[in-house]
Amino acid sequence: DAKTTQPPSMDCAEGRAANLPCNHSTISGNEYVYWYRQIHSQGPQYIIHGLKNNETNEMASLIITEDRKSSTLILPHATLRDTAVYYCIVRLRRGNQFYFGTGTSLTVIP
Amino acid sequence: EPEVTQTPSHQVTQMGQEVILRCVPISNHLYFYWYRQILGQKVEFLVSFYNNEISEKSEIFDDQFSVERPDGSNFTLKIRSTKLEDSAMYFCASDRGLDSPLHFGNGTRLTVT
């Protein structure tokens, strides 16, 4: 069901930028890309979303390629608390649901 | 910041019993959802609800499941006759509509013995 592909795991040194890639080559023109994260078994936490333009908020930046076939979530200064599973989700226009893939397990290393 | 709240945080029930999981979505949100996550597996969509009716449901959401918004603030998921394989974290979510982010609660851990 998920329309996205992410690496299963990544490491990042504390204080460095974490760059998490996502491929969504079949995305349609009016579908948004959303990023969520899940720490342990807590509820998924919204991070950021975008359509075409790059977006930035207090948590992260989202870079979407011009052809919209891929995107990168950037955590500018990773901390140990950023260790989590990160999900890239394309919101389908039929209905209103999100489909979660298996995500990227990010480990921030001291 | 408003948040989605779920109760109870942990529910233990015996196989064959009915269970009701409760959620209070964010007050100005219009769309409501239930997801589940079996231990070690991915988050799976169950059902979405809008304007007092189901708008989408997955194959998982069979006749044993039902949802209700009984009083304009609560949103419930009922499992009629629980099975061992229903043991999972159940997450409620809500949003304001298309292209706005879903906000998730912290889940109810359901254990069926």
> In B, residues 25-84, which contact A (CB 8 Å cutoff)?
31, 33, 35, 37, 39, 42-45, 48, 50, 55-56
pLDDT of residue A29: 81
Minimal CA separation from A81 to chain B, in Å: 17
User: What's the pLDDT tens digit per position in B70-113?
Assistant: 888 899 999 999 999 999 999 999 998 867 899 999 999 999 99
A34, B101: Cβ pair inside 8 Å?
yes
Contacts of residue A60 in chain B, CB cutoff 8 Å?
Answer: none
Distance CA B78, CA B60 (A): 13
Averaged over B58-64, what is the pLDDT?
A: 95
Collect all residues with Cβ–Cβ distance below 8 Å to A23 and sequence separation of at least 6: A4, A5, A6, A69, A70
Minimal CA separation from A110 to chain B, in Å: 25
pLDDT of residue B12: 98
Whether chain A has a CB inside 8 Å of the CB on B90: the answer is no
Please report which confidence band the pLDDT of residue A94 belongs to, taking 50, 70 and 90 as the band edges. Answer: low
Contacts of residue B43 in chain A, CB cutoff 8 Å?
Answer: 38, 44, 87, 100
Distance CA B101, CA A49 (A): 8
User: What's the pLDDT tens digit per position in A19-47?
Assistant: 999 999 988 888 899 999 999 889 999 99
Quick one: chain A helix, strand, coil %, rounded to 5? 5, 45, 55
